[in-house]
């Protein structure tokens, strides 16, 4: 047994963990020979980091550069740092990251920290720090949102996250349950995960091809607490599963993924909508979100819990009250059927249809790789420092596609593809 294997929690299957690392490199990133890789992860995820680095170099990576975070280090800042520091961010670091992306460095992020880590800290400080980071990270985020490079996000079953998802369980039991859920959702709980992803990507491609063939002008969502018409951006394009970045690499940005998604028209969203699952955002659980749109903009917002944080998010910038993404996920998706609330958008968004406040993806336009920011805006694309997904789908939601002539086509009925 190697040292690496000895550092894995007994509750985590090392074979499946290695498969996840291989899938992250070969399917998630499709890392190219000679391509550099920038990797971020919590310290708790070191066993997965080590395997990813190994698979990356075996795939011919140029230079792999990992940056690790730590929950206790993060908490120390909020408890002891000078007040004025919460309006600052490491601009020098983010400028370097943006420069790396401009040089075709691939991006991989591992999530695994306690999603409620900052729930007991000063909400104003959390909000200020988030805003400062969002502003500083914008040059790098533009490369991600513009899909300039191949990038990917995967998850590791950290103990503090597992305790949040499975409260009351012994640590080993909670970690095992979370690990098994991650492995199943990531399609590595079988002997041929690469083949499983190929089949899944093909199924998602069928959905996107049908939607792109329809050329809907809008989608209408209806159900309990929801009567929402989401206009779609001019020349929008549906994406899902594997997509080709501007650098020519076909990758799966999110592992897991069950969604097909596109760009709404930032100025053509009308009506009201109610969330169907809680939103875990930077240590705050925001529940029962209810918002009303007029001419694409949220004009009223409330929540039974976390309303103050929600409104701070909406005031981030001019684009924070408008939509940058609309995504369709059947209620019968594997993540939904697991019945688990992960408190993590990477998973929870794949349990339900959802919308995202903030920045749009330029790849969700016909010929998006050739469009300027001004052309994207003219077609209805939104610009913002944030991109935050929250869930609006359930087994009670119907969705109609609306053509330019007003003709309606059933897309979802009772939460399933029609």
Q: Tell me: the pLDDT tens digits for 200-213? A: 999 999 999 999 99
Backbone angles phi, psi at 107, to 5 degrees: -125, 130
Strands 151-155, 106-111: pairing is parallel
Query: Is 12 found in the same domain as 124?
Result: yes
Packing angle, helices 123-145 and 307-314, rounded to 10: 40
Query: Of 185, 220, 237, which closes a domain?
Result: 185
d(CA 382, CA 233): 10
What's the total number of domains in the chain? Answer: 2
Query: Is 202 found in the same domain as 180?
Result: no
Return the CATH number at 139.
Answer: 3.40.1830.10
Query: Is 128 found in the same domain as 235?
Result: no
Query: Of 124, 150, 185, which closes a domain?
Result: 185
69-122, pLDDT tens digit by residue?
Answer: 999 999 999 999 999 999 999 999 999 999 999 999 999 999 999 999 998 899
The DSSP result for 34-58, as a single string, is: T--EEEEEEGGGHHHHHHHHHHHHH
- Mean pLDDT (the chain) is 95
**How much is the pLDDT for 180?**
96
Window from 2-6, 131-135, 366-370 with minimum mean pLDDT: 2-6
Evaluate whether 259 touches 336 at the Cβ level (below 8 Å).
Answer: no
Mean pLDDT calculated for residue range 241-252: 94
Query: Of 185, 210, 236, which closes a domain?
Result: 185
d(CA 57, CA 107): 15
How much helix, strand and coil, in percent to the nearest 5, is found in the chain?
Answer: 40, 25, 35
d(CA 387, CA 140): 13
Residue 3 has pLDDT above 50, yes or no: no
Q: In the chain, what is the straight-line distance between the N-terminal and C-terminal CA atoms, in Å? A: 51
d(CA 322, CA 308): 18
Residue that has been written with the tokens 């240590």 in this structure: 283
Residue 226: both structure tokens together: 């929801």
Residues in the chain: 418
Using pLDDT thresholds of 50, 70 and 90, give the confidence band for residue 164: very high
Strand partners, 302: 290
DSSP 84: G
Burial 150-178 (b: 16+ CB within 10 A, else e): bbbbbbbbbbbbbbbbbeeeeeeebbbbb
**Considering the entire predicted model, what is its pTM?**
0.88
**How much is the pLDDT for 362?**
87
Query: Is 177 found in the same domain as 215?
Result: no
Query: Is 111 found in the same domain as 34?
Result: yes
Residue 2 has pLDDT above 70, yes or no: no
Packing angle, helices 123-145 and 91-102, rounded to 10: 20
Handedness of CA 391, 394, 397, 402 (dihedral sign): positive
CB count in 10 Å sphere of residue 5? 11
d(CA 272, CA 221): 10
Query: Is 347 found in the same domain as 228?
Result: yes
Query: Is 298 found in the same domain as 165?
Result: no
**How much is the pLDDT for 119?**
86
d(CA 212, CA 230): 16
383-412, pLDDT tens digit by residue?
Answer: 998 999 999 999 999 999 999 999 999 999
Using pLDDT thresholds of 50, 70 and 90, give the confidence band for residue 7: low
Higher pLDDT, 282 or 360: 360
Query: Is 232 found in the same domain as 141?
Result: no
Residue 135: both structure tokens together: 């502003």
Query: Is 242 found in the same domain as 149?
Result: no
322-359, pLDDT tens digit by residue?
Answer: 999 999 999 999 999 999 999 998 999 999 999 999 99
Query: Is 241 found in the same domain as 165?
Result: no
Strands 354-358, 323-328: pairing is antiparallel
Task: Write out 352-403 in H/E/C secondary structure.
Answer: CCEEEEECCCHHHECCHHHCCHHHHHHCCCCCCCCEEEEECCCCCCEEEEEC
Query: Is 271 found in the same domain as 390?
Result: yes
260-269, pLDDT tens digit by residue?
Answer: 999 999 999 9
Using pLDDT thresholds of 50, 70 and 90, give the confidence band for residue 10: confident
Evaluate whether 357 touches 384 at the Cβ level (below 8 Å).
Answer: yes
**How much is the pLDDT for 345?**
87
What is the Cα Rg of the chain in Å? 20
d(CA 228, CA 281): 23
Residues spanned by the domain of 266: 193-417
Residue that has been written with the tokens 């400028």 in this structure: 95
Query: What distance lies between CA 43 and its chain's CA centroid?
Result: 21
30-63, pLDDT tens digit by residue?
Answer: 999 999 999 999 999 999 999 999 999 999 999 9
Residue 1 has pLDDT above 70, yes or no: no
Query: Is 402 found in the same domain as 385?
Result: yes
């Amino acid at each position: 047994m190697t040292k690496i294997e000895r550092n894995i929690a007994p509750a985590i299957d090392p074979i499946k963990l290695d498969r996840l690392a291989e899938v992250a490199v070969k399917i998630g990133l499709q890392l190219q020979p000679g391509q550099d890789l920038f990797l971020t992860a919590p310290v708790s995820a070191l066993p997965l980091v080590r395997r990813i680095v190994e698979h990356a170099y075996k795939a011919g990576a140029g230079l792999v550069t990992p940056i690790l975070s730590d929950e206790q280090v993060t908490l120390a800042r909020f408890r002891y740092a000078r007040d004025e520091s919460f309006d600052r961010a490491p601009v020098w670091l983010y400028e370097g990251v943006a420069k790396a992306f401009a040089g075709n460095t691939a991006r991989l992020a591992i999530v695994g920290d306690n999603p409620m880590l900052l729930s007991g800290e000063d909400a104003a400080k959390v909000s200020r720090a988030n805003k400062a980071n969002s502003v500083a990270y914008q040059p790098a985020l533009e490369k991600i949102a513009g899909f300039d490079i191949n990038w990917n996000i995967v998850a590791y079953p950290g103990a503090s996250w597992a305790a949040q998802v499975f409260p009351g369980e012994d640590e080993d039991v909670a970690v095992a349950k979370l690990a098994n859920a991650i492995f199943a959702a990531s399609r590595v709980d079988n002997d041929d995960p690469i083949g499983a992803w190929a089949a899944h990507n093909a199924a998602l491609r069928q959905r996107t091809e049908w939607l792109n063939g329809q050329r809907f002008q809008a989608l209408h969502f209806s159900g309990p607490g929801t009567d929402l018409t989401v206009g779609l951006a001019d020349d929008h394009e549906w994406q899902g599963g594997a997509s080709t970045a501007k650098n020519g690499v076909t990758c799966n940005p999110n592992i897991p993924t069950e969604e097909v998604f596109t760009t709404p028209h930032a100025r053509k969203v009308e009506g009201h909508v109610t969330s169907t699952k809680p939103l875990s955002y930077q240590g705050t659980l925001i529940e029962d979100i209810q918002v009303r749109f007029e001419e694409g903009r949220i004009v009223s917002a409330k929540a039974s819990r976390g309303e103050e944080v929600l409104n701070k998010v909406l005031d981030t910038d001019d684009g924070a009250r408008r939509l940058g993404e609309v995504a369709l996920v059947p209620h019968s998706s594997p993540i939904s059927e697991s019945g688990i609330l992960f408190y993590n958008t990477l998973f929870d968004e794949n349990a339900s249809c959802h919308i995202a406040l903030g920045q749009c993806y330029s790849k969700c336009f016909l010929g998006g790789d050739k469009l300027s920011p001004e052309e994207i805006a003219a077609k209805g694309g939104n610009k913002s420092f944030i991109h935050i997904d929250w869930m609006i789908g359930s087994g009670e939601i119907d969705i109609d596609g609306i053509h330019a002539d007003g003709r309606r086509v059933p897309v979802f009925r009772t939460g399933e593809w029609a």
